[in-house]
Amino acid sequence: MAKQVRVRFAPSPTGPLHIGGVRTALFNYLFAKKHNGVFYIRIEDTDQNRFVPGAEAYILEALEWLGISPDETIGKNEKFGPYRQSERKELYKQYADQLIENGWAYYAFDTAEELDKLRSEAEAEGKTFIYNHTNREQLSTSLHLSKEEVADKIANGDAYVIRFKTPVGETLHLKDIIRGDIKFETSLLDDKVLYKSDGMPTYHLANIVDDHLMETSHVIRGEEWLPSLPLHELLYKAFGWEAPEFAHLPLILKPVGNGKLSKRDGDKLGFPVFPLDWQDPTSGEKSSGYRERGFYPETVVNFLALLGWNDGTDQEIFSLEELVEKFDLTRVHKAGAKFDPEKNKWFNQHYLKLQSDADLAKAYQVILKEKGINAADAYVEKVVGLIKERATFVADFYELSDFFFVKPTEYDAKALKNWKEDTSDIMKQVSEVIKGIELFEAKNIEEIVKGWINEQGIGMGKVMQPLRLSLVGAVKGPDLFDIIEMIGKDETVERLAIAVEANK
Ligand code: GLU
Quote the CA–CA distance of 17 and 56 in Å, as a whole number.
Answer: 9
The pLDDT value given to residue 1: 53
Pocket test for ligand 1, best of 44, 220, 252 (most atoms within 8 A of CB): 44
> Which one is catalytic: 260, 263, 362, 489?
263
Q: Is the CB of 10 under 6 A from ligand 1?
A: yes
Quote the CA–CA distance of 217 and 21 in Å, as a whole number.
Answer: 20
The pLDDT value given to residue 291: 98
Q: Is the CB of 221 under 6 A from ligand 1?
A: yes
Question: How do residues 357-388 score in pLDDT, each as one tens digit?
Answer: 999 999 999 999 999 999 999 999 999 999 99
The pLDDT value given to residue 159: 95
Q: Is the CB of 225 under 6 A from ligand 1?
A: yes
Task: Mark the ranges of the chain whose per-residue pLDDT is less than 70.
Answer: 1
Q: Is the CB of 24 under 6 A from ligand 1?
A: no
Q: Is the CB of 11 under 6 A from ligand 1?
A: yes
The pLDDT value given to residue 499: 97
Helices (H), ranges, 178-248? 203-213, 229-239
Residue range(s) occupied by CATH 1.10.8.70 in the chain: 356-404
Q: In a 3-state reduction of DSSP, which class is residue 192?
A: coil
Task: Please give the distance of CA 349 from its chain centroid, rounded to a whole number.
Answer: 17
DSSP symbol at 44: -
Are 296 and 351 in contact by the 8 Å Cβ rule? The answer is yes
Name the residue at shortest CA distance from atom 5 of ligand 1.
10
The pLDDT value given to residue 504: 77
Q: Is 439 exposed, middle or buried (0-12, 13-18, 19+ CB in 10 A)?
A: exposed
The pLDDT value given to residue 198: 87
263 carries a ligand binding annotation: yes
Q: What homologous superfamily does CATH list for 86-212?
A: Glutamyl-tRNA Synthetase; Domain 3 (3.90.800.10)
Reported CATH class of domain 413-502: mainly alpha
The pLDDT value given to residue 49: 87
Which sign does the torsion angle of CA 177, 178, 180, 185 carry? negative
The pLDDT value given to residue 171: 98
Let me know how many helices (H) and strands (E) the chain has, helices first. Answer: 21, 13
Q: Which atom of ligand 1 lies closest to the CA of 207? A: 9
Q: Which atom of ligand 1 lies closest to the CA of 232? A: 9
Q: Which residues pair with 161 in a beta bridge?
A: 108, 196
Residue range(s) occupied by CATH 1.10.10.350 in the chain: 413-502
Helices (H), ranges, 332-472? 341-354, 357-370, 377-387, 397-401, 413-416, 423-435, 442-456, 460-472
Pocket test for ligand 1, best of 207, 211, 223 (most atoms within 8 A of CB): 207
Is the pTM higher than 0.75?
yes
Ligand 1 centroid to residue 229 C-alpha, Å: 12
Q: Which atom of ligand 1 lies closest to the CA of 10? A: 5
The total number of residues shown for the chain amounts to 504
The pLDDT value given to residue 434: 98
Active site annotation includes 153: no
Which CATH number is 356-404's, of 1.10.8.70, 3.30.230.10, 1.20.1560.10, 1.20.1250.20?
A: 1.10.8.70
∠ CA 490-492-494 to the nearest 5 degrees?
70
Ligand 1 centroid to residue 10 C-alpha, Å: 5
Residue range(s) occupied by CATH 3.90.800.10 in the chain: 86-212
